[in-house]
Amino acid sequence: MQALKIFAEHYNYVITIFLMVAGLYVVVARGNMVKKLIGLSVFQTSVYLLYITPGKIVGGTPPILDPAFTVYSNPLPHVLILTAIVVGVATLALGLALVVRINEAYGTIEEDEIFAKDDEQ
Partner 1 sequence: MTAVMPHLPALQVVVPLIGAILAGFLRRGTTGFALALAVSWLMPFIAGALLWQVLAGGPISYHLGGWEPPYGIEYRVDVLNAFVLMLVASVGAVIMPFARRSIAFEIDERGQAWFYCMYLLCLTGLLGIAITGDAFNAFVFLEISSLATYVLIATGRDRRALLAAYQYLIMGTIGATFYVIGVGLVYLVTGTLNMQDMAARLGAAFATHPHSVIAALAFLTVGVSLKLALFPLHVWLPNAYAYAPSFATTFLAATATKVAVYLLIRLYFGVFGPALNIQKLPVGELIIGLSIAAMFAASFIAIFQVNLKRMLAYSSVAQIGYITLGIGIANQAGLTGSIVHLANHAMMKAALFMALGAVFYRIGSVRLHDLAGIGQKMPLTMAAFVVAGFGIIGTPGTVGFISKWYLAVGALNAGGWPLVLVIMASSLLALVYVGRVVEVAWFRDVSPACKDASDPPLSMLIPLMVLTVATVWFGIDTQWTAGFAGKAAAMLLGGLK
Site string for partner 1, 40-79 (x = CB under 8 A): x--xx--x--xx--x-------------------------
Residue count, binding to partner 1 (CB under 8 A): 29
For partner 1, the binding residue among 15, 60, 102, 110 (CB under 8 A) is 102
The 3 state secondary structure assigned to 31-96 is CEHHHHHHHHHHHHHHHHHHHHHHHCCCCCECCCCCCCCCCECCCHHHHHHHHHHHHHHHHHHHHH
Provide φ and ψ at 26, rounded to 5°.
Answer: -60, -40
Residues binding partner 1 (CB under 8 A): 20, 24, 27, 33, 36-37, 40, 43-44, 47, 50-51, 54, 80, 83-84, 87, 90-91, 94-95, 98-99, 101-102, 105-106, 114, 118
